[in-house]
Structure 1
Amino acid sequence: MVFYILDFTAELENLTNLQQRDGCSDPNYTYYFKVKCENCGEISQKETCVVLSESVPLPNGRGTANLVQKCKLCGRDGTIQMVPGHGEPLTIERSQAGIRSKLMVFDCRGFEPVNFSFENGWKAESLSGTSFEVDLSEGEFADYDEKGECPVGITNLQASFRVAKKQERAGKTTFV
């Protein structure tokens, strides 16, 4: 098993706390990405959809995963189990410092997640406190904050998967 952290960053203009609409571990947020087979290296042609609130039985009948899929080239099974509770919103301070925020942790067996696609279902708040529903499917967002009398925006949106190490300390699990 290999753990992957999906992290992201963006340039935020007069916005902070960019995250999924129902919080950092939104059970209904759909993650779209391609998978790379760890056996043959084939990358799926279509994006895979993974949702925390959905699970399917494992092929061996022992437990469930959020994704069970066969590689189209070699036929080998791969699974992905999401590990909630490790996400964090992207604040303006993190954005300005170039620090990435974690979205989700994935426990992967047989697959490596690649090429995350941002979609609709995000929220952010302006520095004056106005909430915005954000669609990131176009890779950017722009609006105007009436209360703060200023433009707000999100540009230079970037996401990446990186291998993570699981650490247990004082009964708490973290991924670095």
Structure 2
Amino acid sequence: MVNYLLMITAELENLTDLQPQGGCDDPNFNYFFKLKCGNCGEVTQKETWVMLNETVPLPKGKGTTNLVQKCKLCGREGTVTMIKGQGHPLTQTHGQTEKYAPLMLFDCRGYEPVDFVFREGWKAESIAGTKFDGIDLSGNEYAEYDEKGECPVMISNLRATFNVAK
């Protein structure tokens, strides 16, 4: 069993607290990424997605997991289980210092998550207090104007990495 912590960073202009729409433990937020087989090293061609509120029974034993998938090359089965309570919003300070914020912890057995894909379903708050919901980051950037704060807001230079967590 290896735990992987999804870490994100971005340049936030006049914004703070970038996170999934319902918070870091949003049960309906889809996490999209590719998987690398721990047996043969094959990387899935299409992104796989998991969300907290969708579970399936474990193939062996008792309990549930968020994903059970077989490698298309070697046929080996692996699982991905999400562990909530580890994520924090990306703040403006993180972006200014190029530090990463933890978003979600994944318990992976037989697979390694790679290549996280930003999509829709994000939220942030301007430094003037305006809330921006339903942000689509599939284009790897976001720009809008905060009328209350009378300033442009922008998310750019999005990056994500999976770190092994102990």
TM-score using structure 1 length: 0.92
Tell me the residue number matched to 1:157. Answer: 158
SS in 2 for 1:95: helix
Cα distance in 2 between the residues matched to 1:44 and 1:122:
25
Letter in 2 for 1:72: K
Identify the residue that residue 171 of structure 1 maps to in structure 2. Answer: none
What pairs with 1:113-152 in structure 2 (closer than 5 Å)? 113-133=113-133, 134-152=135-153
Q: Cα deviations across residues 113-167 of structure 1 (Å, max 9, x unaligned)? A: 00000010000000000001211111000000001101000000000111111xx
Q: CA deviation at 1:7?
A: 0.4
TM-score, normalised on structure 2? 0.98
Letter in 2 for 1:107: D
Cα deviation, residue 62, structure 1: 2.0
Q: Cα distance, 1:61 vs. partner?
A: 4.2
The percentage of counterpart residues that share the same residue type is 64
Deviation sequence 1:21-40 (CA, Å, 0-9, x none): 00111011000011000000
Which SS does the other structure have where 1:80 is aligned? strand
5+ residue gaps in structure 1? 166-176
What is the Cα-based RMSD across aligned positions, in Å? 0.7
Distance in structure 2 (CA, Å) of the matches to 1:25 and 1:128: 25
Gap runs ≥5 in structure 2: none
Q: How many equivalent residue pairs? A: 165
Q: 4+ runs of 1 displaced by more than 2 Å? A: none
Amino acid at match of 1:26: D
Instruction: Give, in whole Å, the separation in 2 of the partners of 1:63 and 1:89.
Output: 29
